[in-house]
Amino acid sequence: MKKYILLAVSFFALTASAQTLTSGGKLKPEQAIMDIRHYTIDLGIDFNQRSIEGYTTIDFILSKPTNVLLFDLLDSLNVHNVLVNGKKEPFDYKNNLITIHLNKELTEGRASVKVFYGGKPHVARRPPWDDGFTWTKDSTGHQWMAITAEGSGGKLYFPCKDHPSDEPNEGVDMMITVPKDLMVAGPGLLQSVKKHGETATYHWKTNYTINNYSILFNVGDYKVFSRPFTTCNGTTTTVQFYVLKEHADKAGHFLDVFEKTIHEQEKYFGEYPFAKEKIAMVETPHLGMEHQTMVAYGNKFRYTKIGGEDYDWLMHHEFGHEWWGNKVTAKDWADYWIHEGICSFGDALYTREFEGEAAYNKIFQRSIFGIENKLPVVQHPDMDEEAAYINDIYSKGAFFMHTLRYVMGDSLFFPALKKFVSSPQYTYDNLVSTDDVEQFFTKEAGRNLKPLFDLYLRTTDKLQVHVQARSGNKYIVQLQNIDIPLHLDITTDSGVKHIMADSKGVTIDSKTVPVVDPEVFYIKRVIIE
């Protein structure tokens, strides 16, 4: 969601200014030997100074011995001390890196690093498109703070291994201390609230794997509204909304709309992924973000109508990332269309569910005009976030799923989609690539789909359809730049014909010039001779 939000009927593109805070890229050798297992983040928040102070403990497993440890942390902060397995070690802190020079070689196996640090974290200029802390106040004068970090990663405010290929398999503990009149909203389950004098410490804990940029918290004058919720698999959990007290009167209807969104997403993608913890949203001063089990919401209760009832596009899109982004997570920024493209396709499914197939088709008939096709959706491995996040990972990624549905047919496509997002092989601890998605759908379709994946995702080419007139009201319809047969609708004088077109060409009869793909299931270029 950070840089581009698709909306036009479900998708609109918002262009963001470039930012220098980026994550990912080629994995550093010193970090490639580390498997992050757990983060413990203990911080005090000073609203007057707009600063943080505390420590982060990183638990990890080394695959080989080393004399150097390397962690990411934006150097707008100050690092005071570093302990490795409880012992103080020398370090350098520059160029957004903490380099620990070990006095004695650290052997392979489990280890722990504790970093004491503090200072004034980077301030977001235009959240959520720009990362950083947002320090503001609500209309009643209470302090209100939010963090956005999708582009920069968690290194925005805590030392970490900042790469999408590694997540803390054993989860995160967060102890955040704030003024006692405020509340901290975080990932996982609230373990305790300990008040001491004028402050209170909130302990949030998640046991799930969690992507780096979802490890954060929001602070405000919140009131929590909770309801029991039963998932499609019969699991009992809780749905919550952390809303500013000044907007408490809006919470009931918000949760009504939210529950409808949850049921619809479960229909297509299976059970909510983090039912052992909670389903939650938190009101934020920025537009929104897909933070695991505590989705950021700032759309100001601006509902539209779908199927005659209130619908919130921001709520639906960001919540969809609980499946596509949080449960299914790409291992490289180059593959982030899996998050944004499939999630955006899921937004169109809401319209399909409540307004029907024709309304769903109109979304893609309009959204095709927003596809830029300047760069491939999947460019090259080891990309950083800034380079990977182009508009087409949303618009073209979603349209590709629309095409894939048409090519496979609903009887194969929808079960396959749910099977992928429900499979242990592709979820939670097991991160995925575009190759994984391609091979899975090829298997489920029972035929090679690699040429289709290549055309849509790895090139900027459009499907080229050649229509050549012949005598006797005959036309040859031929696919020119893809080497697999594809279903194709052709409008003729006698109605719509559903054919299987290929590179050899298929002959059809029509007294009028055929219209290729009238409902727009393909991104295409039609040449008529």
pLDDT tens per residue across span 321-380: 999 999 999 999 999 999 999 999 999 999 999 999 999 999 999 999 999 999 999 999
* pLDDT confidence bin for 134, thresholds 50/70/90: very high
Does residue 8 register a pLDDT over 50? no
Phi and psi (nearest 5°) for 244?
-55, 140
Residue 294 corresponds to which amino acid? M
Phi and psi (nearest 5°) for 146?
-140, 160
* pLDDT confidence bin for 17, thresholds 50/70/90: very low
Give the per-residue pLDDT at 1: 53
Q: Is residue 489 part of a domain?
A: yes
> pLDDT tens, 158-193?
999 999 999 999 999 999 999 999 999 999 999 999
Q: Single out the residue of 89, 284, 55, 86 nearest to residue 157, CA to CA.
A: 55
41 bridge partner residues: 56, 174
> pLDDT tens, 300-319?
999 999 999 999 999 999 99
Pairing of strands 132-137, 87-88: unpaired
Percent of residues, the chain, with pLDDT higher than 70:
96
Instruction: Give the three-class secondary structure for 212.
Output: helix
Pairing of strands 189-196, 222-230: unpaired
- Can you tell me the distance from the alpha carbon of 323 to that of 421, in angstroms, rounded to the nearest whole number? 7
Q: What is the mean pLDDT of residues 210-220?
A: 97
Q: Could you say which of 204, 230, 247 is where a domain stops?
A: 247
Does residue 410 register a pLDDT over 50? yes
CB 187 within 8 A of CB 172: yes
Structural element, H or E, at residue 62: strand 51-62
> What is this structure's pTM?
0.95
How many Cα atoms occupy the beta-carbon half-sphere of 343 within 13 Å? Answer: 31
Q: Could you say which of 217, 247, 277 is where a domain stops?
A: 247
- Show the domain range for 145: 29-247
* pLDDT confidence bin for 10, thresholds 50/70/90: very low
Three-state secondary structure of 442-499: HHHHCCCCHHHHHHHHCCCCCEEEEEEEECCCEEEEEECCCCCCEEEEEEECCEEEEE
- Can you tell me the distance from the alpha carbon of 217 to that of 295, in angstroms, rounded to the nearest whole number? 10
List of long-range contacts for 507-514, beta carbons under 8 Å, 24+ apart: 507/470, 507/474, 507/475, 507/476, 507/477, 508/474, 508/475, 508/477, 509/473, 509/474, 509/475, 510/473, 510/475, 511/473, 513/467, 513/469, 513/475, 514/467, 514/475, 514/477, 514/490
- Total tally of structural domains belonging to the chain: 2
Q: Is residue 155 part of a domain?
A: yes
Q: Single out the residue of 404, 407, 406 nearest to residue 420, CA to CA.
A: 404
Instruction: Give the three-class secondary structure for 308.
Output: coil
Dihedral (C-alpha) 485, 491, 497, 499: value to the nearest 10 degrees?
-10
Give the per-residue pLDDT at 21: 74
Give the per-residue pLDDT at 76: 84
Does residue 512 register a pLDDT over 50? yes
Q: Could you say which of 191, 214, 247 is where a domain stops?
A: 247
Does residue 3 register a pLDDT over 50? no
Q: What is the mean pLDDT of residues 8-14?
A: 36
491 bridge partner residues: 496, 515
- What CATH number is associated with residue 483? 2.60.40.1910
Q: Is residue 233 part of a domain?
A: yes
Q: Single out the residue of 527, 493, 488 nearest to residue 510, CA to CA.
A: 493
* pLDDT confidence bin for 11, thresholds 50/70/90: very low
Q: What is the mean pLDDT of residues 108-135?
A: 96
Q: Is residue 458 part of a domain?
A: no
- What CATH number is associated with residue 219? 2.60.40.1730
Supply the mean pLDDT for the chain: 95
